[in-house]
Amino acid sequence: MPDARCPRHRCTHNAPVPPTAPAPASPHTAGVLYALAAFTLWGLMPLYFRQVASVPPLELILHRSLWALAFVLGLLAALGQWGWLAALRAPPRQLGLYLAGALLLAGNWLVYVLAIHAGRVVEASLGYFINPLVNVLLGVAVLHERLRRAQWLAVALATLGVLWLTWRGDRLPWMALTLAFSFGFYGLLRKTSRLGPLEGLALETLLLAPVMLPALAWLTFSGGGGAALRGDAGLVGWLVLAGPLSAIPLVLFAAAARRMPLALVGLMQYLSPTIQLVLGIWVFGEPFDGVRLVGFAFIWAALVLVSIDALWRSGLLPTWPRRASGSGGGGIPSKP
């Protein structure tokens, strides 16, 4: 029966309400999800290298370079992005910088694989915890940047941590330092490049191809044959998977960096070595005694200082209120 309170054909209070479309995710939320995916994939890489542990490290790196090149070229072709090829006509000095970056990246990959094969996943994670502090040092030494007090204190704490691990651990953590400095110098060279992450990876692996392809062919067909010939289809599939695993996190990272503050991206990067550390202890069964805990604690304290400083300077942390003029100073100085 029609409701007597409503004029005929005009009653709407009992009509069904159309469903409201969900609001699209904000760019910031999408950026956080992209960053989480990228750093999680990087953090889980030791599990991948455990699957291909039967492949010698050098041969594994050559396969990774080959399949990364093939995957990135296919992806860029699908996107119709060929402008990066103009970099091959760059002056010799610029090409030399691209080649130096390619060698640093290949060296970083090789040391990382050696660390996994040697059962030193925890030390590899240490390298990527140290890397942001190495970036600070390179900014001073190469870019002539000035450090703030928090950054100097962070560098001092990290140095104490490395010295502690060297003294009490009876050896220099050279794998960690090599990973940190090689990736730091690689990042420094990438700062001077106008190429995006995918285009940069394509150019770097392409520059290595004249050496990489003959070396991989020789290892594959000489002697008893390489992993691609000796292994089953499953192993070959794992080797081919190195291409997407090298490129996809870069795509996700680039998407995150465009959608969220870089200071927050820098803070989230610690997710990757944290996952590696957890894997080293709980999956690979590596020891993590009190000596290592103290050394890591120094470095974690340094990272907390650097992170707070970066978040404050980016405006993501509130500024402390200043004292009234003439009250004798104090408070945090205003950001430049």
Total tally of structural domains belonging to the chain:
1
Rounded Cα gap, residues 179 and 115, in angstroms? 10
pLDDT at 283: 96
In a domain, 254, yes or no: yes
pLDDT at 330: 37
In a domain, 326, yes or no: no
DSSP letter assigned to residue 315: T
Q: Is 175 helix (H, G, I), strand (E, B) or coil?
A: helix
Q: What's the domain range around 267? A: 27-313
pLDDT at 307: 85
pLDDT at 73: 94
In a domain, 232, yes or no: yes
In a domain, 324, yes or no: no
**pLDDT per position in the chain (336 positions), as tens?**
445 555 554 555 555 555 554 445 566 788 889 999 999 999 999 999 999 999 999 999 999 999 999 999 999 999 898 888 888 888 888 889 999 999 999 999 999 999 999 999 999 999 999 998 888 888 888 888 888 888 889 889 999 999 999 998 878 999 999 999 999 999 888 887 888 888 889 999 999 999 999 999 998 888 767 877 787 889 999 999 999 999 999 889 888 888 877 667 777 889 999 999 999 999 999 999 999 999 999 999 999 988 888 778 766 666 544 444 333 333 333 334
Residue 236 tokens, joined: 């070959």
Q: How far apart are the first and last CA of the chain?
A: 72
pLDDT at 250: 87
In a domain, 1, yes or no: no
**AA identity, residue 306:** V
**Overall pTM > 0.75:** yes
In a domain, 10, yes or no: no
Angle at which helix 174-191 crosses helix 121-141, to 10 degrees, equals 40
